[in-house]
Amino acid sequence: MAQRSYVIFMLGTAGSGKTVLTRTLYDWFNEKHLDVATLNLDAGVRRLPYNPDIDVRDLVNIDNLTEKLDLGPNGAMIASMDLIATKIDEIKAEIDYIGPEYLLVDTPGQIELFAYRSSGRLVSSVISDESQPTSVFLIDPSLAMRPEGFSSILLLSISVAFQLSLPQIVAISKDDIIEKEQMENLENWIESPDSLVADIQSVGQTSLSQQLGLSIMEILEQFKTTGDLIPISANTGHNIDTLIGQMERDWGERDDFYE
Ligand SMILES: Nc1nc2c(ncn2[C@@H]2O[C@H](COP(=O)(O)OP(=O)(O)OP(=O)(O)O)[C@@H](O)[C@H]2O)c(=O)[nH]1
Ligand SMILES: [Mg+2]
């Protein structure tokens, strides 16, 4: 039987906390003396708060790309993901060489690069191959202040799971800086989707936003139980145990994977 390996992708909108969570999870696994490695897929990042075991910046130089192809910052990131896809065999060989039990994958800031472009999807599927993959989708609390914002980001999380075909745990990041009132709103919405619908309807100015709000909720109820959302803080470590517990439960449910 091959050694089990687990891959955890950090996903979320720009600045949602993917990189800091990678560091926090790395420390968590390391402190438990578990065999863990990190992979940075963000070719554009300047500084990382952890030392990646595998780093696409060793394969792709974003400054050279920008200059050579005369690109703007977004164009350069698109070109870099396409270039990473052409080098995916090298990345996979490095992963196999290290052979960690747990691989933490930090993805680029722009979620659309990774989840919506075929190069990003190819990269994620090759990395997940022969392992048990999961993903953490981070909701940035600053985008979830209003009920429409919160439900739209949940919708995005479903769309990303759909695009990448990856199991997904949704967490609200940076809960150490969420104001008390916002936390109460979020807890209400998480515990009772009906209260989210009611709040969407009470703020919706037009019949379109009212109808759209309801339709969004129907999709959310069909595809996701909002009850599974976990508020976490990668800074203070709050609920990191709970997050990992959820992953272990999901992996346990798919225990026949290697049999
Ligand atoms: N208070 C607080 N700030 C956090 C937390 N996690 C991340 N941040 C801050 O949020 C900002 C973005 O964090 P990153 O981890 O770089 O987010 P990211 O999703 O990797 O960002 P990009 O890769 O640029 O899209 C930084 O200023 C972090 O210090 C947290 O748990 N609490
Ligand atoms: Mg990052």
Pick the ligand that lies closest to the CA of residue 138: 1
Identify which of 9, 19, 112 to mutate to test ligand 1's pocket (most ligand atoms within 8 A of the CB): 19
Distances 236 to 20, 75, 103, 224 between C-alpha atoms, Å: 11, 35, 22, 27
Q: Distance, CA 11 to ligand 1 centroid (Å)?
A: 12
- Ligand 1 pocket, residues with Cβ under 6 angstroms: 12, 14-20, 42, 109, 173-174, 176-177, 233-235
Would you state the pLDDT for residue 213?
A: 72
Would you state the pLDDT for residue 259?
A: 43
Would you state the pLDDT for residue 208?
A: 73
Would you state the pLDDT for residue 258?
A: 41
Would you state the pLDDT for residue 226?
A: 55
Pick the ligand that lies closest to the CA of residue 231: 1
Would you state the pLDDT for residue 254?
A: 58
In CATH, the number for domain 6-250 is 3.40.50.300
Give backbone dihedrals phi and psi of 33, rounded to 5 degrees, phi first.
Answer: 60, 35
Q: Please state, in angstroms and rounded to a whole number, the distance separating the CA atoms of residues 31 and 37.
A: 13
Q: Distance, CA 18 to ligand 1 centroid (Å)?
A: 7
pLDDT in tens, the chain (259 residues): 456 799 999 999 999 999 999 999 999 999 999 999 999 999 999 999 999 999 999 999 998 888 888 888 888 899 999 999 999 999 999 999 999 999 999 999 889 889 999 999 999 999 999 999 999 999 999 999 998 889 889 989 999 999 999 999 999 999 999 999 999 999 898 888 788 888 887 876 667 767 777 787 788 777 765 557 899 999 999 999 999 999 998 888 655 444 4
Give the amino acid at 147: P
Q: Please state, in angstroms and rounded to a whole number, the distance separating the CA atoms of residues 62 and 49.
A: 19
Pick the ligand that lies closest to the CA of residue 139: 1
Would you state the pLDDT for residue 255?
A: 53
Give the amino acid at 257: F
Q: Distance, CA 234 to ligand 1 centroid (Å)?
A: 8
Where are the domains positioned within the chain? 6-250
Q: Residues 6 or more apart from 228 whose CB is under 8 A from it? A: 169, 170, 246
Report the SS3 class of residue 179: coil
Enumerate long-range contacts of 175-181, CB under 8 Å, 24 or more apart: 175/141, 175/231, 175/232, 175/233, 175/238, 175/239, 176/233, 176/235, 176/236, 176/238, 177/141, 178/141, 178/231
- Record the tokens describing residue 170, joined without a space: 């949704």
Q: Please state, in angstroms and rounded to a whole number, the distance separating the CA atoms of residues 116 and 259.
A: 32
Give backbone dihedrals phi and psi of 47, rounded to 5 degrees, phi first.
Answer: -130, 140
Q: Distance, CA 225 to ligand 2 centroid (Å)?
A: 27
